[in-house]
Structure 1
């Protein structure tokens, strides 16, 4: 066997959402900051993302995270989320996967009953507190980056649903949050295909019509996802994040739940010390807490904490044969959507 590249990958899922981690084979990515490194992947060299995400080695329904040396001295490790469309600055479920792997693989020393892990991400530092029992990581709380509302109740004219109202908020990336009743769908597994198609189409439409830019990180300047939501009670929401080119997040989505928390705080529906449950389409859940309030570039913002669980399920070595004609990967419209 003669591989020109060898990667070690740890398989992890967070509440049903796959977030694999590259733990060996990538020395570093060019750039002074994690944001620079993410931009290098998206703008200069996308080959690693395609290698691990595209077929025949990957699949649409997962993320793969690159574990990197941190660029800030406070952090234990840096990571970048790679998904089907591009690399993204932050993901709550993937951060929980990364922390679980760091501790259970012995890359960061585990201390019982709790270990603090600081992650360097393109969206800023994220502090994680992992509950550790008998050598296992049984849960992770993430102090997320400050989340804020960009605008509320934005009217968007659509051909299929007429005028809908959309909240635009940042929770690590920018979200368009839509009450799912406006599109006439229930957040149930049998509607996953339809929810994915509608969400991705609406994301493209909204991103064309609504300009966003993070006040501190101007390169974060697009709406990454549409999250559908349904209020179940005063303290419980069902959430469904849709991801390009056409799938739904299996987890309740940490960054999306943070963005949703910012909209609820802006409407006076939750205050400091309050908490709620975000429940995914498959029934898994995150606990979401409002730790405090702050400002981001002069905008009111909230400090969310997300708690969820992840499980490691395997270790694999992925290699590239120099004679493999499909080393660059490929996509097919039967699973990746038309035009992909």
Structure 2
């Protein structure tokens, strides 16, 4: 008898950001909500995240989304997001990839035209609208988290960079928003390594100065994201476009502009009186891929103006595979993951 640990995967990308969707091989997790199941992984089984984002199976620039049964009966499925920085409670690109994978794998049956359903993320229920043409998922629109500006145009001195003006938005995580032009960047792919070094220094400096607290969630950890903003071009009365780049601490420039980064931009544009409900912003990445954010409405929450928004993008299936987790491999650490992996006897 042999005991083999395997994981069933669908690798996807949206805007260039690769999301590895895990849909088989993990035992049911404890927790009455997807958020509680995420917290169990974070505290008691973080080996799954490390296993799939590090050698020999993956790289830190990827993300992982674990498919779990929905706890809320209104949702079709649940999913838990894992990244190099830990466990974000929400991500636009990961949501687009997860919805695409569920449809393309038949775990949620496709319907030609537009179909709507809900998924349960650690942040709660997410409304999904899929556009299916000739049997292909051509676009996913997902609700962005309510976003707001916490800090507007503060200044900090950053060693090796100089004086930096930044704003802080919350859009599923806290983002430092900085003007790329002020820092000498044109947001081209050739600048990727320099953007990462610059962002690392800025985030480290801001983390040293202060922490940030969500008005209902409280302390959600140290600042994890920075978004470089290029100039905004008005393409039509209700449509804008801007080159952008999102950094995840430590050290990763995302391939896409990210959904939460786009939501953060909408919050800042609303705060500065630059957009109205119904307006859309396309953020364009270093690889010329894009997401479209729509400013739906705003409301007051304490001292904040909270922006309701949607994010639209397209996901692509890259591979369907099964990986073998070999705990005798010196590159594989099974200590904090073997207890949640299903064992197949053969």
Per the alignment, residue 327 of structure 1 pairs with 332
| Alpha carbons 1:147, 1:172 under 8 Å: kept | yes
Which 10-residue stretch deviates more, 289-298 or 208-217?
A: 289-298
Of residues 308, 312, 320 in structure 2, which corresponds to 1:315?
A: 320
Structure 1: runs of 5 or more not aligned: 330-340
Q: Please give the secondary structure, in 2, of the residue aligned with 1:41.
A: helix
The aligned counterpart of 1:156 is 156
* TM-score, normalisation: structure 1: 0.91
Task: Kindly state the Cα deviation for residue 35 of structure 1 after the two structures are TM-superposed.
Answer: 2.6
1:245 match: 250
Q: What is the deviation of 1:284?
A: 0.6
Q: Distance in 2 between matches of 1:206 and 1:10?
A: 37
User: In the alignment, what sits opposite 2:112?
Assistant: 112
Spell out structure 1 runs of 4+ moving beyond 6 A.
none
Instruction: Give, in angstroms, the shift of residue 125 of structure 1.
Output: 2.0
Does structure 1 residue 11 correspond to structure 2 residue 8? no
Contact persistence 2:212–2:222 (CA under 8 A): yes
Partner SS state of residue 21, structure 2:
strand
Q: Deviations over 1:247-279 (max 9, x none)?
A: 211112100110110011011001111112111
Kindly indicate whether residue 261 of structure 2 is the aligned counterpart of residue 256 of structure 1.
yes
Instruction: Please tell me whether the aligned partners of residues 97 and 310 of structure 1 are also in contact (alpha carbons under 8 angstroms).
Output: yes
208-217 vs 262-271, greater mean Cα deviation: 208-217
In structure 2, the CA distance between the partners of 1:172 and 1:278, relative to structure 1 (3 Å rule), is same
Unaligned 5+ segments in structure 2 are 235-239, 335-346
Counterpart Cα distance in 2 of 1:135 and 1:192: 36
Which residue is 2:20 aligned to?
A: 20
Report the counterpart of residue 201 of structure 1 in structure 2: 201
**1:322 Cα deviation after fit:** 3.5
TM-score, with length taken from structure 2: 0.90
Residues 55-101 of structure 1, C-alpha deviations (whole Å, 9 max, x = no match): 01111221111111122222211112111231211111111000001
> Is the Cα–Cα contact under 8 Å of residues 127 and 144 in structure 1 kept in the other structure?
no
2:81: which partner in 1?
A: 81
The residue that corresponds to 1:96 in the other structure is 96
SS at match of 2:61: coil
Work out the CA distance in 2 between the residues paired with 1:30 and 1:297.
35
Q: Which has the higher contact order (CA 8 A, sep 6+)?
A: 2
In the TM superposition, residue 3 of structure 1 has moved relative to its aligned partner by 4.8
2:7/2:324 contact within 8 Å kept: yes
CA distance in 2, matches of 1:72, 1:207: 35
Task: Work out whether residues 3 and 320 of structure 1, in 8 Å CA contact, stay in contact via their aligned partners in 2.
Answer: no
Q: Deviations over 1:222-270 (max 9, x none)?
A: 3221111111413111110012331211112100110110011011001
